[in-house]
């Protein structure tokens, strides 16, 4: 497909959502609800899960999908490729990148990526999709076996119940949350870590619609929030003569200026 109709724009914010959880954790349901209002959608759908999206057109081979996307180069369109394997995955990645201005869903990335290196088009999409207005959703049941570029680039990491300890451990580290929080999850519970400046964390349950921000609580309980003995002022340290606010440190140039005066 020829180049994108939309200009590259570095001011766009990345929207890359990494959704984890064992089978039945609610990953695809969450994504479907989130893209419900989107006009341009492409899905790599090896397990045939997205046929119930209103208006979506199903394709079972690459050339037919390519032709349809060309036809809808700048128009609203929803399409999915119901085919598994790395070739189909990479085709979808390259098509999403060329199509631009769309939401893109990649299902079960652990089947089509490896921990060490992201496949070429997948890496390109993750690193440069933001500038082409591509919102990316991906799912995996096995985050410890999926490629790390995806996790590194994600702007939101969301997890439901994960059955394997290795997965919980790997993800807790990456989400910067205590593993104990992950051990408590029940079906359709979720934890969502936002990789923004505030590093916000939310917990909730998809079935009952609850959602609560726990960022402050997490940080208050973090070990680094407690005073460390090494950081205490030494007993012998001299106190300042008065309680006035300390003057800011002067740099070398300022000191030199003072000396000259």
Ligand X SMILES: Nc1ncnc2c1ncn2[C@@H]1O[C@H](COP(=O)(O)OP(=O)(O)OP(=O)(O)O)[C@@H](O)[C@H]1O
Q: For residue 238, give every residue at least 6 positions away whose Cβ sits within 8 Å of its Cβ, in sequence order, or none.
A: none
If the CB atoms of residues 30 and 122 are measured against Mg ion, the closer one turns out to be 30
Question: Could you give the CA distance from residue 166 to residue 144 in angstroms, rounded to a whole number?
Answer: 7
Question: Could you give the CA distance from residue 4 to residue 8 in angstroms, rounded to a whole number?
Answer: 9
Question: Could you give the CA distance from residue 229 to residue 84 in angstroms, rounded to a whole number?
Answer: 55
Question: Could you give the CA distance from residue 11 to residue 1 in angstroms, rounded to a whole number?
Answer: 25
Q: Report in angstroms how near the CB of residue 192 gets to ligand X at its nearest.
A: 14
Q: Return the structure tokens found at 135.
A: 């919102």
If the CB atoms of residues 78 and 195 are measured against Mg ion, the closer one turns out to be 78
- 159 counts as binding Mg ion under rule CB under 5 A: no
- Alpha helices in 61-203, H assignment, sequence order: 62-71, 86-99, 120-128, 148-153, 165-175, 179-183
- 93 counts as binding Mg ion under rule CB under 5 A: no
- 113 counts as binding Mg ion under rule CB under 5 A: no
143 binds, among ligand X, Mg ion, none (CB under 5 to 8 A by kind): none
Question: Rounded to the nearest 10 degrees, what angle do helices 120-128 and 86-99 cross at?
Answer: 30
In the complex, the residues that contact ligand X under the rule CB under 6 A are 21, 23-29, 49, 141, 188, 206-207
Q: Report in angstroms how near the CB of residue 209 gets to Mg ion at its nearest.
A: 20
Query: What backbone phi and psi angles, to 5 degrees, belong to 114?
Result: -120, 160
What residue has token string 């680039």? Answer: 153
Residue with the closest Cβ to Mg ion? 28
Burial of 58 (0-12, 13-18, 19+ CB in 10 A): middle
Contact mark string toward Mg ion, 215..244, x via CB under 5 A: ------------------------------
Task: Judge contact between 99 and 129, C-beta under 8 A.
Answer: no
Q: Report in angstroms how near the CB of residue 110 gets to ligand X at its nearest.
A: 11
155 binds, among ligand X, Mg ion, none (CB under 5 to 8 A by kind): none
25 binds, among ligand X, Mg ion, none (CB under 5 to 8 A by kind): ligand X
Applying the rule CB under 5 A, the residues between 19 and 48 that interact with Mg ion are 28
- 103 counts as binding Mg ion under rule CB under 5 A: no
If the CB atoms of residues 46 and 99 are measured against ligand X, the closer one turns out to be 46
If the CB atoms of residues 48 and 183 are measured against ligand X, the closer one turns out to be 48
Which stretches of the chain bind Mg ion, using CB under 5 A?
28, 49
């Amino acid at each position: 497909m020829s180049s994108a109709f939309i200009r590259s724009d570095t001011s766009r914010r990345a929207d890359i959502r990494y959704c984890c959880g064992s089978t039945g954790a609610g990953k695809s349901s969450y994504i479907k609800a989130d893209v419900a209002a989107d006009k341009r959608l492409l899905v790599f759908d090896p397990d045939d899960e997205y046929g119930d999206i209103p208006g979506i057109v199903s394709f079972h081979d690459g050339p037919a999908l390519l032709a349809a996307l060309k036809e809808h180069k700048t128009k609203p369109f929803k399409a999915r490729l119901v085919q598994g394997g790395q070739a189909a995955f990479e085709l979808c990645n390259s098509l999403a990148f060329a199509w631009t201005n769309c939401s893109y869903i990649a299902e079960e990335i652990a089947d089509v990526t490896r921990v060490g290196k992201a496949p070429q088009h997948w890496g390109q999409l993750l690193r440069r999709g933001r500038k082409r207005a591509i919102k990316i959703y991906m799912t995996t049941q096995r985050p410890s076996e999926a490629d790390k570029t995806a996790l590194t680039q994600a702007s939101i990491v969301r997890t439901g119940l994960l059955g394997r300890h290795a997965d919980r451990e790997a993800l807790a580290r990456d989400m910067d949350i205590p593993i104990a929080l992950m051990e408590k999850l029940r079906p359709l519970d979720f934890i969502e870590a936002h990789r923004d400046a505030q590093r916000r964390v939310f917990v909730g349950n998809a079935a009952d619609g609850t959602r609560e921000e726990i960022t402050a609580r997490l940080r208050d309980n973090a070990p680094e929030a407690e005073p460390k003995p090494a950081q205490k002022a030494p007993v012998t340290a001299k106190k300042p003569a008065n309680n006035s606010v300390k003057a800011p440190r002067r740099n070398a140039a300022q000191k030199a200026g003072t000396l000259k005066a």
